[in-house]
Amino acid sequence: MIASVRPEPGATPSTRPAAVRQSYRDAVRESLRDALRADPRVFLMGEDVGRYGGSYAVSKGLIEEFGPERIRDTPLSESAFVGAGIGAALGGLRPIVEIMTVNFSLLALDQIMNNAASYCHMSGGQLAVPLVIRLATGAGRQLAAQHSHSLEGWYAHIPGLRIAVPATIDDARFMLAAALACSDPVLLFEHAALYNREGDLTPGLTAVDIDHAAVRRPGRDATVITYGGSLPKCLDAAASLAAEGIDVEVLDLRTLRPLDEAAIVASVRHTSRAVIVDEGWRSGSLAAEVTTRIVEQVFYDLDAPVARVCTAEVPIPYAKHLEDAALPSPARIVDAVRRVVGRDGDG
C-alpha cells in the first residue's frame, strides 16, 4: 500500500486550514512536546537533552516546560542509558531515548539487539519493550568519520526492531506518536542535514503511520527509491530530469523494517525501471536488499537492470570536497536514471 495524505472530511479550498511553515527541527520538537503533554508515562533521556537543549537544539526549552524528571540528562554512556530506557519500558513507561549520533549507537548495540529486540521473542510474547530511540544520522556537515555514517541498513537487519526514517516535515512532526503507540522498540533515524530544512506542514494532518512508503513525486519513466536525507536530492534530480523529458517517480520508503514491499513492487511495475539511492555503503546495503526484492518480485517487468547510487566505500572524509564526492548527489542520481532509461549519452 502506498500512503497518501487526505484532507479533513468536508474540507473545501475555502475552509481548509492554511499550511504552516516549519523547520524539520521544530517539527521534531513539537512532536516531543505533544507526546510529553499527552501521556505522563513519556519522558526523554539522553546526553545534553536538558539544560543544553540537545546537541541539535531539538529539545531546547523542554526542560523548562516539563522539568528534569521528564527531560533527563544522562552520563556519557550509551549502553547505560539505553539499558535504563529498556528497563523503564519493561516497567510500563514510554521512554524516548536520544542518541547523539548513530555512530555512538554502536556502544549500545548489545542493549538494542540482544535485549530490546529480543525480549518479546525470548519471553514468548510476555514482555513488550515499547521504547523509542531517536538517532541523528547521515553526513554532509563536515563532522568526519565518527559522526557522519548512515547505519540504518544495519539496524534494519535485526528482527524485533522497527526502523522508521522521517524525511519530510509531516513525518518529522507525526512519526513519533506512531512510534510511541507501537509495542515494539522503534528506532527513528533523523538525518542531521535535514534539521534546518523548512517546509509546509500539511493542513489538517494529525497522524502518519510507520508502515507504508509514500510516492513523493509520481512519474512514468523510472522509479527512484530512497529514504531520509537523500529524499531532497532525489526530488532535485527528478526536477532536473523533467527538463530533459524524463518523468521520474520518487518513492520514499519511510520505514526500512518492515519494508513496504507492496509499494516498491507497485511503483517499479508501473515504471519498469528502478534506481535506488542509499546513503549507506553499497556492499551489504539496504539498497542491495531492495534490489533483490525487486528482482524476486518483478524481474520480468523490468526494462533495464536496477541501478544503485550509494556512498563510496570509505569512512566519511572531513574535507568538504571529499565528503561531497563520497556521498550520493543529484548529479549522480541524474546519471543513474539516464542510464536506466537509455539516455546516458545525453549531455
270 is catalytic: no
- Given 47, 78, 152, 323, which residue is catalytic? 78
323 is catalytic: no
| Beta-bridge partners for 98 | 46, 134
Task: State the residue for C-alpha cell 572524509.
Answer: 317
Phi and psi of 163, rounded to 5°?
A: -120, 115
SS3 14: coil
Say if CB 21 and CB 203 are below 8 A apart.
no
- Given 47, 147, 149, 152, which residue is catalytic? 147
Any alpha helices (H) in 156-230, and if so which ranges?
169-180
Three cell numbers written together for 183: 509495542
Cα 203 from Cα 188, distance rounded (Å) = 24
Cα 323 from Cα 327, distance rounded (Å) = 6
Residue 66 CA, chain-centre distance (Å), reads: 27
Q: Cis ω on the peptide bond leading into residue 330 (within 30° of 0)?
A: no
Give 52-80 as a DSSP string.
Answer: T--TTSTTTTHHHHH-TTTEEE--S-HHH
Q: Which residues are catalytic?
A: 78, 147
